[in-house]
Amino acid sequence: MSRNSSTWPLVLSVFILELGCSPGGAPNRTATPVLRPSILFVTLDTTRADAVGPDAEGVETPVFNALAARGRLFARAYTTVPETLPAHASMMTGLYPAGHGVHENARTLRADHEVLAERLQATGYRTAAFVSSFVLARRFGLGRGFATYDDIEAPERSARETTDRVIDYLKTPSTEPRLLWVHYFDAHAPYAPPEPFRTLFAKNPYLGEVAEVDQQLGRLLEAFQKDASGPVAILVAGDHGEGLGDHGELQHGNLAYEPTMRVPFVLVGPGVEPGVSRDPVSVRRIFHTILDLAGLDNPQSLRRTSAPEVVLGEAMRPFLGYGWQPQVMAVAGAQKVIFAGRNEVYDVVQDPGEVRDLSASVTPTRAIRTALQDYPVPAPGVAPAPAGGLSLDDEERRKLASLGYVSAGATPLIRKDAPRPVDMVGLFETIEKASGLFVREEYRAVIPLLEKIRAVDPQNLDATLRLATAYSSLGQDLQALSLFEKAKAIAPLSADVKLYLALHLARGAGWQEAGSMLEKTIEQMPERLPALEALARIREREGRSREAMALLRRIHRLRAPAATELVRLGQAAMNVGETTSAIEAFERARRAQGVDFRSDLELGVLYLADRRFEEARQSLDRVPAKHPEYAMALFKRAQVSVLLREPDQAARIERARRLADASTRELIARERLFVVGRPE
Ligand SMILES: [Zn+2]
């Protein structure tokens, strides 16, 4: 049953005086204050190791430098993935992507991976996070364990604005130690620093962003240290660097060279010996270090010096998205090996620019060879990580392969002609441009770029799928379907291909077929929002209101609801007679929409059913005379009038009768409140 003028009054008319119930109060929780440090963890997005710190060229970062002087500077810290979400997922779980399953942005960290904030919250820490990009919105799974998770639906928020919000938050004092994570996104492209850095860094706006972030970091540190009454620990780390043209890469994500893999990292806190550490370390160990700082002793903590390890990393986007060679990095001592179809070997201490590939003369160490051989390559677009991904704490006991990311023994699909990412740098700029246009839904403009990518690299799954979606969104179904066929041929098992095809069908006459496809997609990827959103619409169209409600609620656990969705939730709840839920949804929609709220009739009817006559009166009085169901509003208003014993009730009944339509005439004739007339 869909909402239209012939069926809707029926839904309204069945709402007769029901009683709702209200939920109980939340349980109390007490925490014992202990003298553990308050911990500030700051992530600097897109910040190269050589753009920050005392040795940085072309920019001053006095705040970071002062921290480095107070604490331990890790001069050779490596990210696990040169991409925001997977890198943060590693820092928050202590796992390589093979362990936590997030190899790219726009995936979701599965709920069965315990994250840092959950551990600290359980021991009485007051947890809060402030993130500055949509890429880290709570829907992607990093919000768990944070009592406050201040995220955004917009692409970017400035460091100044984020810092303002943190400072505001810190005005509420805490008797518990804090875990505060703050993420700054400014250094990410496009580079547009505010003044004075816009002028000062007119020739290098990227460094201007870095300088601005350093200044905001200063404001943040001041507020944090002023707030803390006990000891403090501070960690500042990059999530990945930026190519800036090195090795042919402008941004990040497609290659595994030093400019994008090596990040700044400084650690300040009780028991941390000041100085500079030159052993390679992975930022994933921030997880273990923070646990240790919080009193949860951990052998992988970086607070103490530990045995050198093989540091691993990966850049799988070209493999997962375009079908190119999977790319894994291993670093031990001065030696760094990048494996992508074949090995490149560098001495990154002698040759930090990685210009001399030593692979013809130097054999990688045994430890590096073993680590690379065992590094699990994900299966593109197929299954997410299995439940209970193992921790790399077990590294000493097990080989990396035992992480078992690749599900059910599936062999990763590497196409025979898969190019090495470094041989495809000529396409990077087009890919990055196309990606930006696609995300902004500029489909007409993106088509020629995607066609160009496909002309060079016809097996490129991302380009094929995006092209199909662009044609579909422009209503060019034949081109879209032909490209979906090609995408299916490239990656027969890809859940993404199925998802985008289903979304295409949902747009047109095949929408009912799309329903079962989306259900399967959701089974595989339970937190994929576009699938949940499209299926909710289909269930609404089919009149399957209970299922639609459940889907809308799932969506709203992943992100803040849009006002229009609250209206839809209210309507679905009303369709199945759930008065309390319906009232709650409509009330939230009204608060969000203000004067644009259009569901006063529904809300009035619901209040009446809930015997909240005064609120029913107010809502029904707001229904405008031009409302298509105005006759229903008059009828309901007359009922309320009798129940409230208003002096003009007779006139209201008369008016409802006079202006009755097919939906209300019969109801008025049978209404006992009206027959009895004025109650004594
Ligand atoms: Zn990032």
| Mode of pairing for the β-strands spanning 328-332 and 335-340 | antiparallel
Residue type, 642: V
Ligand 1 mean position, distance from CA 58 (Å):
22
433 CA to middle of ligand 1, Å?
A: 17
CA of 669 to the centre of ligand 1 (A): 66
CA 46 / ligand 1 centre spacing (Å): 5
Give 186 Cα–ligand 1 centroid separation in angstroms. 10
Give the pTM: 0.82
| Residue-wise DSSP of 439-498 | HTT-HHHHHHHHHHHHHH-TT-HHHHHHHHHHHHHTT-HHHHHHHHHHHHHH-TT-HHHH
Measure 266 CA to ligand 1 centroid, in angstroms. Answer: 18
What is the three-class DSSP state of 538?
helix
What backbone phi and psi angles, to 5 degrees, belong to 305? -75, 145
Average pLDDT of the chain? 88
Return contacts of 304-312, CB within 8 angstroms, 24+ apart: 304/271, 305/277, 305/279, 308/279, 308/280, 308/332, 308/333, 309/280, 309/281, 309/282, 309/395, 310/367, 310/368, 310/371, 311/78, 311/280, 311/281, 311/282, 312/80, 312/96, 312/282, 312/371, 312/375, 312/400
| CB-facing half-sphere around the CA of 410: CA atoms within 13 A | 18
Å from CA of 503 to ligand 1 middle: 28
Ligand 1 centre distance from Cα of residue 456 (Å): 28
pLDDT score for 9: 53
Measured in Å, residue 349 CA sits from the centre of ligand 1 at 25
Ligand 1 center–CA 83 separation, angstroms? 5
How far is CA 37 from each of CA 269, 330, 455, 491, 679, rounded to the nearest angstrom? 8, 34, 57, 49, 69
pLDDT of residue 628: 95
Cα of 252 from ligand 1 centre, angstroms: 9
Q: What pLDDT, on a 0 to 100 scale, did the predictor assign at position 98? A: 87
pLDDT value of position 265: 98
Q: What is the pLDDT of residue 587?
A: 97
Residue 273's pLDDT band (cuts 50, 70, 90): very high
CA 88 to ligand 1 center in whole angstroms: 8
**How many Å separate Cα 188 from the centre of its chain?**
17
pLDDT of residue 19: 31
Distance 43 CA to ligand 1 centre (A): 9
Residue whose entry in the numeric block shows the structure tokens 């495809």: 424
pLDDT-derived band at 417, boundaries 50, 70, 90: confident
357 token code pair: 């590939």
Give the pLDDT score at 397: 30
Q: pLDDT grade, residue 13 (50/70/90)?
A: low
**Ligand 1 geometric centre to CA of 45 (Å):** 4
Round to whole Å and give the CA distance between 117 and 120: 5
- Report the pLDDT value the prediction gives residue 468, as an integer from 0 to 100: 95
Q: What is the pLDDT of residue 110?
A: 86
For tokens 């390679």, the residue is 280
What whole-number percentage of the chain has pLDDT above 70? 89
Model confidence at 554, pLDDT cuts 50, 70, 90, reads very high
Which pLDDT does position 453 carry in this prediction? 97
**How many A from CA of 317 to the centre of ligand 1?**
14
Distance 90 CA to ligand 1 centre (A): 12
Is it the case that residue 564 has pLDDT exceeding 50?
A: yes
| Residue 379 CA, ligand 1 centroid: distance in Å | 23
CA–centroid distance, residue 105 to ligand 1 (Å): 9
Give the residue-averaged pLDDT of 285-290. Answer: 96
Residue 26 has pLDDT above 50, yes or no: no
Exposure string for 616-629, b = 16+ CB within 10 A, e = fewer: bbebbebbeeeeeb
Q: Give the distance (Å) from ligand 1 centre to CA of residue 343.
A: 26
Question: Given this model, what pLDDT does residue 528 score?
Answer: 85
Q: What is the pLDDT of residue 164?
A: 98
Q: What angle do CA 210, 216, 218 make, to 5 degrees?
A: 110
Question: What pLDDT, on a 0 to 100 scale, did the predictor assign at position 10?
Answer: 54
pLDDT given for residue 540 in this prediction: 96
**pLDDT class for 111, splitting at 50, 70, 90?**
confident
Is the omega angle on the peptide bond into residue 33 within 30 degrees of 0, that is, cis?
no
Q: Give percent of the chain above pLDDT 90.
A: 75
Cα of 372 from ligand 1 centre, angstroms? 24
**Nearest-angstrom CA–CA distance, 214 and 221:** 10
- Do the beta carbons of residue 580 and residue 597 sit within 8 Å? no
3-state secondary structure 195-264: CCHHHHCCCCHHHHHHHHHHHHHHHHHHHHHHHCCCCEEEEEEECCCCCCCHHHCCCCCCCCCHHHHEEC
pLDDT, average across residues 364-384: 78
Residue 634: pLDDT band with limits 50, 70, 90 = very high
Q: How far away, in angstroms, is 85 Cα from ligand 1 center?
A: 7
Give the model's pLDDT for residue 58.
95
CA terminus-to-terminus distance, the chain? 42
Give the tens place of pLDDT for each residue, 229-256: 889 999 999 999 999 999 999 999 999 9
Structure confidence at residue 392 (pLDDT): 32
CA of 237 to the centre of ligand 1 (A): 11
The pLDDT value recorded for residue 676 is: 59
Stretch 657-662: mean pLDDT: 95
What is the CA(341)–ligand 1 centre distance, in A? Answer: 26
Q: Which two tokens stand for residue 403?
A: 């992480």
User: 11 pLDDT band (50/70/90 cuts)?
Assistant: low
Task: Work out the pLDDT band at 8, boundaries 50, 70, 90.
Answer: low
pLDDT at 536 > cutoff 90 = yes
Q: In a 3-state reduction of DSSP, which class is residue 24?
A: coil
Residue type, 353: G
Q: How far is the CA of 155 from the centre of ligand 1 (A)?
A: 12
Q: What is the pLDDT of residue 413?
A: 64
Please name the residue that has the structure tokens 């045994």: 366
Distance in Å, CA 239 to ligand 1 centroid: 5
Rounded to the nearest angstrom, the distance between the alpha carbon of 183 and the centre of ligand 1 is 9
CA of 268 to the centre of ligand 1 (A): 23
**Span from the CA of 194 to the centroid of ligand 1 (angstroms):** 20
